């Protein structure tokens, strides 16, 4: 006679299923502990990727295009695809 737990769930209690659940719980617990550690050390604050010259500009786009993180190219704006390279005020800057 099957157990009442297996009757209420649609997944049969097999050794593989129990092992997969155990592995997932351990992985999730590890990820939670790593996130707590990162937040305690201050690594969860991500620096702004927007160039300081482009802050507040309506032309700012800032999306990255590409298949993988290593091959992505970030498009800053339509006027200056790689961003305004000098620290001066951008001539095409337009406030929000």
Say if residue 70's pLDDT is above 90. Answer: no
**Looking at residues 20-27, what average pLDDT do you find?**
94
CB of 49 closer than 8 Å to CB of 74: yes
Say if residue 91's pLDDT is above 80. Answer: no
What pLDDT shows up at residue 11? 61
CB of 59 closer than 8 Å to CB of 92: yes
Percent of all residues in the chain with a pLDDT value above 90, rounded to a whole number: 15
Q: Which residues contact 42 (CB under 8 A, 6 or more apart)?
A: none
Report the candidate in 54, 43, 66 with the shortest Cα–Cα distance to residue 93. Answer: 54
CB of 64 closer than 8 Å to CB of 74: yes
pTM over 0.75: no
Report the candidate in 6, 86, 2, 5 with the shortest Cα–Cα distance to residue 51. Answer: 86
What pLDDT shows up at residue 4? 52
Query: Phi first, then psi: what are they for 95, rounded to 5°?
Result: -65, 160
Higher pLDDT, 53 or 22: 22
């Amino acid at each position: 006679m099957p157990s009442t737990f297996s009757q209420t769930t649609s997944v049969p209690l097999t050794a593989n299923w129990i092992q997969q659940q155990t592995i997932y719980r351990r992985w999730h617990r590890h990820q939670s502990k790593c996130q707590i550690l990162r937040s305690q050390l201050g690594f969860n604050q991500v620096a702004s990727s927007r160039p300081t010259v482009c802050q507040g500009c309506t032309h700012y786009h800032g999306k990255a295009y590409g298949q993988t993180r290593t091959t992505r190219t970030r498009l800053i704006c339509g006027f200056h695809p790689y961003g305004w390279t000098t620290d001066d005020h951008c001539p095409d800057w337009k406030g929000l």
